[in-house]
Amino acid sequence: MEALLVLDNVEKAFGGLRVTSGVSFSLMPGDISAIIGPNGAGKTTLFNQITGYLMPDKGSIAFQGEEITGLTTQEIVARGMGRAFQITSIFPEETVLDNVRLACLSRLNQTRKVFRPVSRFKEATDKAYAILESLGLKGQADRPAFELAHGDQKLLDIGTALGLEPKLLLLDEPTSGMSPEERQLTRELIKRLWREFNLTLLFIEHDMDTVFGIAQVVMVLQMGRLLAQGTPDEIRNNPEVVTAYLGEAVS
């Protein structure tokens, strides 16, 4: 089976600071992989390079067997990549429905239509409702997005990315700022979405229960370098990782 995403020796520096140094890994279709690492390890920067928001200095990134290094975010998204953000990124004044509906319209390439109201675009509207249904947000579809609780806004962010029907979905700290109960629910939700939407998932997370609860592959990033990569059990028992990052917490 061909890998969905391949990073080959990706390098990035901001001035003298090497934020990504020689990172290589590949994701197989259908995997759930997690990137962990201390603050400042370069996790979000790596996401930014994968999604074309930042350009790597060196190395290459391939998605579905095609080189995407140097493409714009739009072009990469159009090829089937979606992203939800660490700091929730929504359209606050629009309704919950319209947030997701815009993504669905974008996927169907209908955002240039100028004459019919959005509610008449049945395919996009039905799809948006279906996504809100699986997220449990359908009851709030007509509320402006800014009125939602923090946790629900995070879900909406993910729902917006799902509207693109991505093959690969990147989640940047999906459970940050949530209570332990909310985290538990979000974990179950992510697993369910993964099955329901046939996703390949790559997520950044600090919450170890989430990481070891749902990831099949864990990658540890430290100071821009890939310190280790393996199954949750391998990572948990890797002495280097334990001293560098996990510490006493899981031992």
Partner 1 sequence: MEDTKAYKTAAFWIVFILVFALAPLRMTSNYQIILANQILIWGLFAVAFNMLFGVTGMLSFGQALYFGLGAYAVGLSFKYLGASWFLPAIGMGLVGAVVISILVGLLIIRVSGVFFTVLTLAFGQLVWQITFRWYNFTGGDDGIQGIIPPGILGDRIAYYYFTLCLVLLSIWFLRRLVHSPMGLTLRCLRQNPDRLRFLGRSVRYNQLGIYMISSCFAALAGSLMAGVNNSIHTDMLYWTTSGEVILMSVLGGIGQFFGPFIGAAVIIIIQEVVGAKTEFWPLIIGLTMMVMVLLLPKGLVGEARLLGNRLKSFAGGNRG
Near partner 1 by CB under 8 A: residue from 1, 39, 114, 249: 114
Question: According to the binding rule CB under 8 A, does residue 111 interact with partner 1?
Answer: yes
In the bound complex, what is the minimum distance in angstroms from residue 166's beta carbon to partner 1?
10
In the bound complex, what is the minimum distance in angstroms from residue 95's beta carbon to partner 1?
10
CB neighbour list of residue 94: distance below 8 Å, 6 or more residues apart: 102, 144, 145
Question: According to the binding rule CB under 8 A, does residue 110 interact with partner 1?
Answer: yes
Question: According to the binding rule CB under 8 A, does residue 248 interact with partner 1?
Answer: no
In the bound complex, what is the minimum distance in angstroms from residue 139's beta carbon to partner 1?
15
Question: According to the binding rule CB under 8 A, does residue 97 interact with partner 1?
Answer: no
CA 104 to chain CA centroid, nearest Å: 17
What is the distance between the alpha carbons of residues 81 and 40, in angstroms, rounded to a whole number?
24
In the bound complex, what is the minimum distance in angstroms from residue 92's beta carbon to partner 1?
6
Counting residues that bind partner 1 (by CB under 8 A) gives: 37
Q: In what order do the strands lie in the sheet with 81-84?
A: 81-84, 168-172, 200-204, 32-36, 217-222, 225-230
What is the distance between the alpha carbons of residues 149 and 137, in angstroms, rounded to a whole number?
11
Nearer to partner 1, 87 or 149 (CB): 87
Question: According to the binding rule CB under 8 A, does residue 194 interact with partner 1?
Answer: no
Of the candidate spans 99-107, 192-200, 223-231, 232-240, the one that interacts with partner 1 by CB under 8 A turns out to be 99-107
Residue 162 phi/psi, 5° resolution? -65, -30
Nearer to partner 1, 128 or 211 (CB): 128
What is the distance between the alpha carbons of residues 229 and 232, in angstroms, rounded to a whole number?
9
| Nearest CA-CA partner of 201 in 164, 181, 172, 221 | 172
Q: In what order do the strands lie in the sheet with 17-27?
A: 17-27, 5-14, 58-63, 66-67
Question: According to the binding rule CB under 8 A, does residue 106 interact with partner 1?
Answer: yes
- List interacting residues with partner 1 (CB under 8 A): 51, 53, 72-74, 77-78, 82-83, 85, 89-94, 98, 101-103, 105-107, 110-118, 121, 160-161, 163-164
